[in-house]
Structure 1
């Protein structure tokens, strides 16, 4: 006689989780990709701003002590950019300036003039916070007040205005897409968990009929959905790290835009977002089935 195996007893909150984790991972991966795009766009914007330079031309025949004093004074200015612990202040002698001019134009003006009319100068890279027209005007005025300074020049104001305007537009567009994408991801994860809980609706009602409290019924679903969201966030983060390493190998210039702190914040946000969305999506879905009448469950 054929032996009949008893049907497995369905455990509360034990709906299949592979599909749910996979869906959450893909949804968080998309938002993580956009988050990394925002991080690198922010670093690019900062790099563009910090590449703005101010040329400080000096009086002729300044003694070495005054040149060193000027360099120390420039390094202490709050508007001077730093790379690590090094202030971005570079001295360019008039001889170096003449060599650069010859390399750019291919003509040696010293042979024609019989003298080098250029001046020694300091090249200052400006902090990104001061990279706008009004701030640069204040920077130039402050530098002109320094003893031994002959003239201060910087990039044209129209160029700075165009750069700032374009960076603001790009930032607003990317931020708008990021917000829209976040809403879409929340909806996708919410619907995924609701569909997964749909198979548990009769078990939820059965537990309710035998006197189980709402919290007792909700607890295993909430715990499981939260862990599914966290696991999905971790998997999405690992995939993003692998993708980042591949992109750095393929395009080495992107490494210059790497920001470990912001990238870590994006990965942590994915884990937290996955857990939070999983918890509240499961909470709403279970409460919905707890409030449904028996006829509505079919």
Structure 2
């Protein structure tokens, strides 16, 4: 009879540990995904920013050699990512394709100008900075006009700020939910041992001595949960990288290290704190209060 009861208790204990590990793993998996989203949000924002260009229209008397000299000087600027020269012949061909007919046949001559598109580094794609760059480039002797889409820059900046704000809010909310879920799982696990805790206390064991095995057990469960979550994250990142290579999920080792290290650290810290306060609560209860 006692052997059967012991086997039943062991099965219940294993089932309890398994449910705690699964709960911790799911929560840490969610935290890992959110962490990567937060890290990648800046890269995605920079990707769109670096698609923005300032166009320099050159004067008609500027030779190709002079325009190459201007390109070389632009590449030395700290705000320049790349430059692209577009001749007026190429511009006419592109414009004709856009409108569906050769407009040169009506005009007889090409009114367009040679131009250089200057693609900026993401840190410089902001309304005030681009206005300063436009003013600087307008003073060049080879340049007749400098233009860029100012409303687009304003809209892009505002949208990136809004998206970054909401990503931070969502990440904070889910982080809080994650802490509460793991804390609840650990508390339930400790709750099943409340009579054992009180018995140990009644025979003279110190609070620190009683807490220690519970804390180490929970930390191990947290590590197991982090391992499971990390395996799930690795699989998710791998398959996502196959379909969306532009996100470069696997190329940035530093970001991957931050996410996986964060998952393990959070798993250990939350289980440690949750177990500490859960055992402390039952240690402070009177024996008759354990039944409520």
Q: TM-score range by the shorter chain?
A: 0.7 to 0.9
Matches within 5 A, 1:199-238: 199-238=192-231
1:291 is matched with which residue?
Answer: 284
1:76 is matched with which residue?
Answer: 76
Greater helix percent: which structure?
A: 2
CA distance in 1 between counterparts of 2:220 and 2:72 reads: 55
2:94 is matched with which residue?
Answer: 100
CA distance in 1 between counterparts of 2:2 and 2:46 reads: 70
1:66 maps to 2:56 = no
2:191 is matched with which residue?
Answer: 198
Say whether the 8 Å CA contact 1:57–1:119 is kept in structure 2.
yes
Per the normalisation by structure 2, the TM-score is 0.87
Say whether the 8 Å CA contact 1:231–1:271 is kept in structure 2.
no
Q: In structure 1, which of residues 257, 265, 270 is the aligned counterpart of residue 247 of structure 2?
A: 257
Q: Secondary structure at the match of 1:143?
A: helix
Q: Secondary structure at the match of 1:115?
A: coil
CA distance in 1 between counterparts of 2:67 and 2:59 reads: 10
**After the TM superposition, which of the residue ranges 46-55 and 184-193 deviates more from structure 2?**
46-55
Deviations 1:107-137 (A, max 9, x none): 2233333322322221111222222221111
Q: Secondary structure at the match of 2:199?
A: helix
CA distance in 1 between counterparts of 2:282 and 2:228 reads: 30
**After the TM superposition, which of the residue ranges 195-204 and 106-115 deviates more from structure 2?**
106-115
Can you give the 5+ residue segments of structure 1 that lack an aligned partner in the other structure?
Answer: 82-87
1:137 maps to 2:127 = no
1:32 maps to 2:32 = yes
CA distance in 1 between counterparts of 2:271 and 2:140 reads: 60
Q: In structure 1, which of residues 105, 109, 112 is the aligned counterpart of residue 103 of structure 2?
A: 109
Q: Secondary structure at the match of 2:80?
A: coil
Shift of 1:40: 4.2
Say whether the 8 Å CA contact 1:40–1:258 is kept in structure 2.
no
Say whether the 8 Å CA contact 2:241–2:247 is kept in structure 1.
no
CA distance in 1 between counterparts of 2:206 and 2:122 reads: 58
**After the TM superposition, which of the residue ranges 277-286 and 170-179 deviates more from structure 2?**
170-179
Q: In structure 2, which of residues 137, 155, 160 is the aligned counterpart of residue 162 of structure 1?
A: 155
Q: Secondary structure at the match of 1:17?
A: helix
1:91 maps to 2:80 = no
Against the structure 1 CA distance between its residues 4 and 229, is the aligned structure 2 distance closer, same or farther, given a 3 Å change threshold? Answer: closer
CA distance in 1 between counterparts of 2:175 and 2:19 reads: 21
Say whether the 8 Å CA contact 2:241–2:248 is kept in structure 1.
no
2:112 is matched with which residue?
Answer: 118
Shift of 1:29: 1.9
2:57 is matched with which residue?
Answer: 57
**After the TM superposition, which of the residue ranges 115-124 and 58-67 deviates more from structure 2?**
58-67
Shift of 1:8: 5.5
Shift of 1:59: 2.2
Say whether the 8 Å CA contact 1:32–1:267 is kept in structure 2.
yes
CA distance in 2 between counterparts of 1:262 and 1:283 reads: 31
Shift of 1:273: 0.9
Shift of 1:183: 0.8
Can you give the 5+ residue segments of structure 2 that lack an aligned partner in the other structure?
Answer: none
Deviations 1:249-295 (A, max 9, x none): 4xx3x321234343442232222111110110011111111111111
How many residue pairs match? The answer is 284
CA distance in 1 between counterparts of 2:210 and 2:140 reads: 74
Shift of 1:243: 2.2
Two-structure CA RMSD over aligned residues (Å): 2.5
